[in-house]
């Protein structure tokens, strides 16, 4: 099988670096271009010394003419930038976006949550929201792949199967998510310069974080009635990882064992999702530097209330790893290729 050529736009951010680290190990990918705006001419070793031994091109400014020489374009750019690039795509190109440009299916929702007009609305119809374990082979039918956000990944993987099977109440789901500060990108220290990132825990986006829209869209896709939830993200004093703690009420006649049984059956053939034993206390340390999502369900003092724990590495399963997993599905590679 011939190698596919790739362009990575936004190659020096935390996600971009992680993407490159994984792609250099991929059997069927040859990195042709690394693109950036403020790092033109630099080597990637300026940002990460561990890439010193890899034969990688210097960073260049994106030019649409490069699209004639590549099969895959990965965009790890600020919201809005992938929309611009999508207008230049050729028939041979597949775009894998790690930002939010092709996550929401309604232009009005994008404007509401991201406060900017979507400039490539026709391409939304040509794109797919690709959570690989949920979306599956449908990904093969699309040339624009919108990768989920890191928080939604940790939330949707445990919730979608049990909502689909109608075993929990849908009007009072509470989601408490804590992320390492790498989730805010390289500008995190400037953005939160008044906070001590290394010793404090901070809530932000309370009630109105952008990922509310994505979580709502996807949960409602699998429900016959509107899902009501409250999502609160936190910035925690660690570099990477997400732990989502989800509080749900069981419907009458259902138990925690039913929930675990549904999850185990749903993810039985999915190598990157592991359902733990009842009352397992999963942590971010269990999944760091992997494309794994570990999920557990825990009892509480109330028989009808349970707590679901979901842990991922935000830079891999919540970012670069999931993007590669989607690409692997799209091109009929093994899902584990480059991700073992």
DSSP 177-246: EEEEGGGG-TTHHHHTTTS-TTT--EE-STTT-THHHHHHHHHHHT-SS---EEEEEEEESSSS-EEEEE
CB-count burial class (<10 Å; 0-12, 13-18, 19+) for 253: exposed
pLDDT score of 261: 98
- Distance CA(288)–CA(118), nearest Å, equals 34
Report the pLDDT value the prediction gives residue 189, as an integer from 0 to 100. 60
Predicted pLDDT of residue 191 = 63
The active-site residue out of 147, 150, 293, 298 is 150
- Model pLDDT, residue 192: 63
Nearest to 335 by CA among 95, 26, 15: 26
Rounded Cα–Cα distance for residues 311 and 274 (Å): 10
Helix (H) or strand (E) holding 129: strand 127-129
Would you tell me which CATH number, out of the four given (3.40.50.1100, 3.40.50.720, 3.20.20.100, 1.10.357.10), belongs to the domain 4-148+318-330?
A: 3.40.50.720
Helix, strand, coil shares of the chain, percent, nearest 5, are: 35, 20, 45
Known catalytic residue at 150: yes
Output the tens digit of pLDDT for each of the chain's 340 residues.
Answer: 789 999 999 999 999 999 999 999 999 999 999 999 888 988 888 888 888 767 899 999 999 999 999 999 999 999 999 999 999 999 999 999 999 999 999 999 999 999 999 999 999 999 999 999 999 999 999 999 999 999 999 999 999 999 999 999 999 999 999 999 988 776 666 666 666 777 889 999 999 999 999 999 999 999 988 999 999 999 999 999 999 999 999 999 999 999 999 999 999 999 999 999 999 999 999 999 999 999 999 999 999 999 999 999 999 999 999 999 999 999 999 999 999 8
Instruction: Sketch the domain layout of the chain as residue ranges.
Output: 4-148+318-330, 151-314
Q: What's the pLDDT at 188?
A: 64
Identical fold at 4-148+318-330 and 151-314?
no
Q: Which CATH number fits domain 151-314: 3.30.565.10, 3.20.20.70, 3.30.360.10, 3.30.560.10?
A: 3.30.360.10
């Amino acid at each position: 099988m011939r190698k596919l050529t790739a362009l990575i736009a936004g190659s020096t951010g935390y996600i971009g670096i992680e993407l490159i680290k994984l792609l250099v190990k991929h059997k069927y990918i040859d990195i042709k271009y690394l693109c950036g705006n403020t790092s033109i001419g630099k080597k990637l070793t300026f940002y990460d010394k561990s890439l010193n031994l890899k034969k990688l091109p210097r960073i260049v400014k994106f030019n649409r003419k490069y699209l004639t020489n590549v099969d895959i374009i990965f965009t790890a750019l600020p919201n809005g930038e992938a929309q611009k690039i999508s207008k230049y795509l050729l028939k041979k190109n597949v775009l894998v976006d790690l930002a939010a440009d092709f996550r929401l299916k309604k232009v009005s929702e994008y404007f509401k949550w991201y406060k900017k007009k979507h400039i490539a609305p026709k391409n939304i119809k040509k794109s797919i929201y690709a959570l690989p374990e949920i979306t599956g082979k449908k990904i093969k039918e699309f040339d624009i792949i919108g990768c989920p956000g890191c928080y939604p990944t940790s939330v949707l993987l445990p919730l979608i199967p049990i909502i689909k099977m109608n075993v929990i109440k849908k009007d009072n789901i509470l989601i408490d998510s804590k992320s390492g500060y790498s989730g805010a990108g390289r500008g995190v220290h400037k953005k939160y310069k008044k906070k001590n990132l290394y010793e404090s825990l901070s809530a932000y986006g309370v009630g109105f974080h952008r990922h509310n829209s994505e979580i709502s869209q996807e949960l409602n896709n699998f429900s016959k009635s509107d899902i009501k939830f409250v999502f609160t993200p936190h910035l925690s004093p660690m570099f990477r990882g997400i732990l989502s703690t989800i509080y749900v009420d069981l419907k009458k006649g259902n138990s925690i064992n039913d929930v675990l049984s549904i999850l185990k059956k749903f993810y039985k053939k999915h190598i990157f999702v592991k359902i733990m034993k009842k009352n397992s206390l999963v942590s971010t340390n269990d999944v760091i530097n992997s494309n794994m999502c570990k999920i557990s369900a825990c009892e509480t003092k109330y028989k009808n209330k349970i707590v679901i724990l979901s842990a991922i590495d935000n830079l891999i399963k919540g970012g670069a790893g999931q993007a590669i997993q989607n690409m692997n599905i799209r091109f009929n590679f093994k899902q584990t290729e480059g991700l073992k």
